[in-house]
Amino acid sequence: MSSWLGYAKTSFHHAPKTITLTTSSGSEIPLSELCKDATPPCRLNPLLFNGHLQTFWTAYKGYDIPIVYRRKIFEAEDPAVAGTFAVDFVSRIPGEKDESLPPRTSYFTDQEFGEYGSSDSKPMLVTLHGLSGGSYEMYLRAVLAPLVTEDNGWEACVVNARGCAMAKISTPIMFNARATWDIKQVVEWLRKKFPNRPLFGLGFSLGANILTRYVAEEGSNCLFKAAVVCSNPWNLDISDQFLRNSFIGNQIYERVMGNNVKHLANLNAEQICKVPGIDMEGIERIKHLYDFDREIQIKVWGYPSTGAYYRDASSCDAVIAVKVPFFAINALDDPIAVQPGIPFDEIKTNPYTVLCTTTLGGHLSWFEVGGGRWFAKPVSQKGPCKSCIPLTTLGCQLSE
């Protein structure tokens, strides 16, 4: 289980017999073997020798990975979760600079979006970011950048959680850990606009939890050909307990995440304070992530306690219902998506799922020498099948 000089041990967990996929050459390969073939050795920066150092390093900006986006504001179709949310589509044509949006992001014009759609068969990736983040996150762009090159030919979009990525909410409904309705609406919209494109899902951290729940809810009707999740916290109740009971967890991680979501709450206070029991004094009391969930989330969604919210939103049991090829990547030293919350047994009962664990990597980190992130390789490097990328490989037609 140990790592030495950045050489992390990689392990795979799956059912005794996983589903079989057919490659473009006509040969057959089990999902478990395909995932192993697509995963290179995990060789990380030896100076970042534990999960805390790896995770802390995410605060270092390092080199830039430019991705250009065009934004569209969607109106929720389900009246039970009324409101707006922002979707950022990867673009190869920069728009006019807009200071109200994240860098390299501009709105579609009505005409541009009216003409948006195609009968092409390019693979399309739908991405979900982590807690309080957005399409601008470096960990997200590290995966998108190699996929959307002209050589690889992918298209991609990022479904920003409500209230995130400088998009204000239009109702009191912000994001939550099981908010699958926005991605469901976007995927169904994409299927109509791009009827021939194979669709894939990619989720990070809290977005990984949401994506897992969405894929499980859709079951065999899921419109994704495959999905990949990185640093899924899986069991939010267990993660919460570990963070609270650790000095570093409570005084650093919980406070940093709490400060981030408090900032979002302040930006959207006009709408949030329409919920009975929520006021500015409550928002000001937020110091930790669990304070935000206590002061905001359970009141918006009607949960009796934060524990009830965490247990209801967790994806550890939902993974049993996944019915498309599904690849998960977690670091065993992740201080946020902690090892005791990983559903090893549940994954081993489902032939559609494969979990890769590494002994080093932290949370959404896996930093290599030079600043690259290892997890981008098993997700986006060239593989043995289809358009030679593991995400597409996972979407091969199942054998009869």
Report the mean per-residue pLDDT for the chain. Answer: 93
Per-residue pLDDT of 111-142, as tens digits, reads 999 999 999 999 999 999 999 999 999 999 99
Q: One-letter amino acid identity for 251? A: Q
Per the listing, tokens 């009216």 go with 114
Per-residue pLDDT of 46-84, as tens digits, reads 999 999 999 999 988 788 999 999 999 999 999 999 999
Catalogue the E-assigned strands of the chain.
Answer: 7-8, 10-14, 20-22, 28-30, 42-43, 68-75, 84-91, 105-107, 124-128, 155-159, 199-204, 224-230, 326-331, 353-358
Give me the residue spans of the domains in the chain. 7-235+314-393, 236-313
Say if residue 2's pLDDT is above 90. Answer: no
Per-residue pLDDT of 323-338, as tens digits, reads 999 999 999 999 999 9
pTM over 0.85: yes
Q: Using CA atoms in the order 318, 322, 326, 332, what is the torsion angle rounded to 10 degrees?
A: 20
The three-class DSSP label of residue 75 is: strand
Catalytic residues: 205, 334, 363
The pLDDT, as a whole number, for residue 396 is 58
Say if residue 42's pLDDT is above 90. Answer: yes
Q: How confident is the model at residue 393 (pLDDT cuts 50, 70, 90)?
A: low
Q: Are the beta carbons of 163 and 86 closer than 8 angstroms?
A: no
The three-class DSSP label of residue 353 is: strand
Say if residue 311's pLDDT is above 60. Answer: yes
Per-residue pLDDT of 236-248, as tens digits, reads 999 999 999 999 9
Say if residue 368's pLDDT is above 80. Answer: yes
Q: How confident is the model at residue 399 (pLDDT cuts 50, 70, 90)?
A: very low
Q: Using CA atoms in the order 74, 312, 336, 7, what is the torsion angle rounded to 10 degrees?
A: -90
The pLDDT, as a whole number, for residue 62 is 81
C-alpha dist (Å) from residue 67 to 103, 140, 141, 143, 288:
9, 10, 7, 11, 32
Per-residue pLDDT of 18-39, as tens digits, reads 999 987 677 899 999 999 998 9
CB proximity list for 12: less than 8 A, separation 6 or greater: 32, 35, 36, 39, 354, 355, 356, 357
Topology classification of domain 7-235+314-393: Rossmann fold (3.40.50)
